């Protein structure tokens, strides 16, 4: 078996505070993999600039000139982490035997990348990096994450618990993933749908060295909700169930009121009336909002707009210079 060409894809958005250290550490990892004859010397680090407003792209370009491993992909605008990641995966897939994705802050343990590649040599197509524990998280984040994974499992969405976007994929697995053309991307849910042989590698997640997290609470909640509504109709069925429940409760209360009227025990009051109006009105608004969410997703899907636009592609031009002919035709 020939040594595989590995590309490590790193989405970046305003990462100037950590980027120099990230490029240095990943370069050392790549050099070690080559020394161990695990990957080809043509392997690359692909940094995808997702429309950063700081010096991220200038730093990537500067490193490209002096580091033969570093390549860059500059997107024309900010399209979000998932779209930036899929842009890097699609670009890397042209000339790679396997691809690893990792976030720029390197909170994921780069020391297990060697284990990822060893699993690939064993014939594994998808290797998931899974957090061994969440002790570094706050109590709130740890328990909400646990609830999220359990809830997603209950509504039939297959996820790998405590796995984000740190994974290795073989070319054939990535080929299948790229056949999913939906606009509403939730890669953590899509990758398990691909199938093929898979394995998990456990590691301890580190603290962010510098800069700020690109996923504060608001974005995390939006991301989780987007994942739920992209893969299941269970939320809208839940609203339907609550609607039926409200009708049943209203019927019971109405029956009770009729009995009280017949027995002459009625008392005037507005509290129960107001509460019932608010309750039913809230359910109606919730139902309309949930239906609107799904309609909005359909609206975005049917327009078939491109998920990203590439402004500069240093990866393709650089690797074409090194390879006399493409690895895959």
CB 47 within 8 A of CB 72: yes
Is residue 226 in a domain?
Answer: no
Q: Are residues 99 and 162 in the same domain?
A: yes
Residue 134 shares a structural domain with residue 240? no
Same-domain pairing of 10 and 120: yes
Domain total of the chain: 2
Distances (CA, A) of 33 to 135, 211, 220, 270: 30, 29, 34, 74
Q: Which domain holds residue 241?
A: 234-303
What stretch of H or E contains 217? Answer: helix 217-231
Low-confidence ranges of the chain (pLDDT < 50): 270, 326-329
* Domain at 11, CATH number: 3.90.550.10
Is 170 among the domain residues? yes
One domain for residues 149 and 262: no
Evaluate whether residue 267 is within a structural domain. Answer: yes
Is 274 found in the same domain as 200? Answer: no
Considering the domain architecture, whether residues 46 and 22 belong to the same structural domain is answered as yes
Would you say 235 and 275 are in contact if contact means Cβ atoms under 8 Å apart? Answer: no
C-beta of residue 112 within 8 angstroms of C-beta of residue 203 = yes
Within 8 A by CB and 6+ apart from 15, the residues are 22, 52, 54, 56, 104, 105, 211
Task: Say how many C-beta atoms besides its own lie within 10 A of residue 44's C-beta.
Answer: 24
| Residue 260 domain flag | yes
| 64 and 114 fall within a common domain | yes
- Based on the fold, state whether residues 103 and 150 are members of the same structural domain: yes
Residue 15 lies in a domain: yes
Do 208 and 251 share a domain, yes or no?
no
Please check whether residue 227 lies inside any domain of the structure. no
112 three-class SS: helix
* Phi, psi (deg, nearest 5) at residue 230: -80, -20
Residues 241 and 190 in one domain: no
Are residues 154 and 29 part of one domain? yes
pLDDT at 329: 36
**Per-residue tokens: 136:** 């570094």
Identify the pLDDT of residue 108: 87
pLDDT number for residue 327: 46
Cα separation of 277 and 176, whole Å? Answer: 50
Q: Is residue 18 part of a domain?
A: yes
- 238 and 210 part of one domain: no
User: Does the model's pTM come out above 0.75?
Assistant: no
Q: Quick one: pLDDT at residue 214?
A: 53
For residue 329, tell me if it sits in a domain: no
């Amino acid at each position: 078996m020939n040594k595989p060409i590995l590309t490590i894809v790193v989405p970046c958005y305003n990462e100037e505070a950590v980027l120099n250290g990230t490029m240095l550490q990943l370069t050392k990892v790549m050099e070690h993999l080559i020394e161990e004859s695990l990957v080809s010397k043509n392997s690359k680090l692909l940094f995808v600039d997702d429309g950063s407003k700081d010096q991220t792209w200038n730093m990537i370009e500067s490193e490209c000139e002096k580091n033969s491993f570093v390549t860059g992909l500059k997107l024309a605008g900010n399209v979000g982490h998932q779209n930036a990641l899929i842009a890097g995966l699609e670009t890397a897939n042209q000339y790679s035997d396997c691809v690893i994705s990792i976030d720029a802050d390197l909170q994921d343990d780069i020391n297990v990348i060697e284990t990822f590649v060893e699993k690939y040599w064993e014939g594994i197509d998808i290797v998931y990096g899974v957090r061994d524990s969440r002790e570094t998280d706050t109590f709130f984040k740890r328990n909400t994450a646990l609830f999220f994974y359990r809830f997603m499992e209950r509504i039939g969405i297959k996820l790998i618990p405590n796995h984000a976007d740190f994974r290795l994929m073989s070319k054939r697995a990535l080929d299948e993933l790229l056949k999913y053309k939906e606009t509403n991307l939730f890669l953590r849910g899509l990758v398990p749908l691909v199938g093929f042989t898979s394995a998990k590698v456990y590691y301890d997640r580190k603290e962010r060295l510098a800069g700020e997290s690109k996923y504060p609470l608001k974005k995390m909640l939006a991301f989780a909700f987007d994942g739920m509504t992209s893969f299941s109709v269970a939320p809208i069925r839940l609203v339907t169930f609550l609607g039926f429940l409200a009708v049943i409760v209203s019927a019971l209360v109405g029956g009770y009121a009729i009995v009280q009227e017949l027995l002459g025990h009625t008392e005037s009051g507005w509290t129960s009336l107001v509460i019932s109006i608010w309750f039913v009105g809230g359910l109606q608004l919730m139902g309309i909002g949930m239906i609107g969410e799904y309609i909005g997703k359909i609206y975005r899907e049917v327009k078939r707009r491109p998920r990203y636009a590439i402004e500069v592609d240093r990866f393709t031009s650089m690797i074409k210079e090194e390879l006399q002919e493409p690895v895959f035709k």
